[in-house]
Amino acid sequence: MTGSDMDRLDGLQFSRRQVKSGQPLFHAGDKFHSIYAVRSGTFKSSLMLKDGREQVSGFHMAGELMGLDGLAHGAHASTAIALEDAEICSIPYAPLAELAVGSADMQMILGKLMSREIVREHGLMMLLGSMSAEERLAAFLLNISQRMKARGYSPTEFHLRMSRAEIGSYLGLKLETVSRAFSAFQAQGLLQVDKRHIRIVDLEGLVRAFEARVH
């Protein structure tokens, strides 16, 4: 989302709402009527597989949108759950669409937002399709790092809001494998890890670990 896109949406003053840590914002299957902008806090979106296991499909930080996948079939395809106390901004889709009728700009914004979501998932597919465990974790950490930086926080030291199991689900790995990859990075002097507190010691080394998809 570019700054100007965000400003536009910001100007519209939609209803806000608190979501407590662990609480759902919407469930897979819920009727779609709004998209949501995260104002503060972090969310995960996920869906339950038939066998009861959870598949995490994304993490959402302040300033990011959720719920666009619901437009296709009129119902949300995933469940959004707050990973810490959060505040969201509810954006009813109908008036938004109405607003876009007659405004080429607004329409462009909407289109770009959706397209960006496609590109994001695209990137994740690459990751899941062709990278090793350590490459996946490196990619994940670099992504988080960038997003922290974009929000004015330190890109090299941050607190993860999600569990190893959630990271694993997102990256297509088991939690033990994620844990081992963290340990390996620490042993290589790339990271300092203390549970969910991460300090990136050697950013370039991490980038190299990410690009190690030679062979």
Looking at beta carbons only, is 10 or 84 nearer to DNA? 84
**Residue type (1 letter), 208:** R
**CA atoms 157, 158, 162, 163: torsion sign:** positive
3-state secondary structure of 65: strand
For residues 47 and 78, the answer to whether their CB atoms sit within 8 Å is yes
CB of 65 closer than 8 Å to CB of 45: no
Alpha-carbon span 200 to 206, nearest angstrom: 8
- Binding of a copy of itself by 190 (CB under 8 A): no
Options 10-18, 19-27, 170-178, 199-207: segment touching a copy of itself (CB under 8 A) = 170-178
Pair of tokens at residue 187: 């042993």
Give the amino acid at 7: D
Task: Find the binder of DNA among 39, 180, 188, 201 (CB under 7 A).
Answer: 180
Q: Least separation, in Å, of the C-beta of 210 and DNA?
A: 13
- Pick from 42, 69, 89, 158: which binds a copy of itself (CB under 8 A)? 69
CB atoms within 10 A of CB 188: 14
Q: Is 179 in the site for DNA (CB under 7 A)?
A: yes
Q: Does 40 bind a copy of itself (CB under 8 A)?
A: no
Question: Does residue 214 interact with a copy of itself by CB under 8 A?
Answer: yes
Tokens 């009527």 sit on residue? 33
Q: By the criterion CB under 7 A, which residues form the site for DNA? A: 132-134, 163-165, 168, 172-180, 182-183, 193, 195-196, 215
Q: By the criterion CB under 8 A, which residues form the site for a copy of itself? A: 47, 49-51, 53, 55, 57, 68-73, 77-78, 97-98, 100-104, 107-108, 110-112, 114-119, 121-122, 124-126, 128-130, 169-172, 211, 213-214
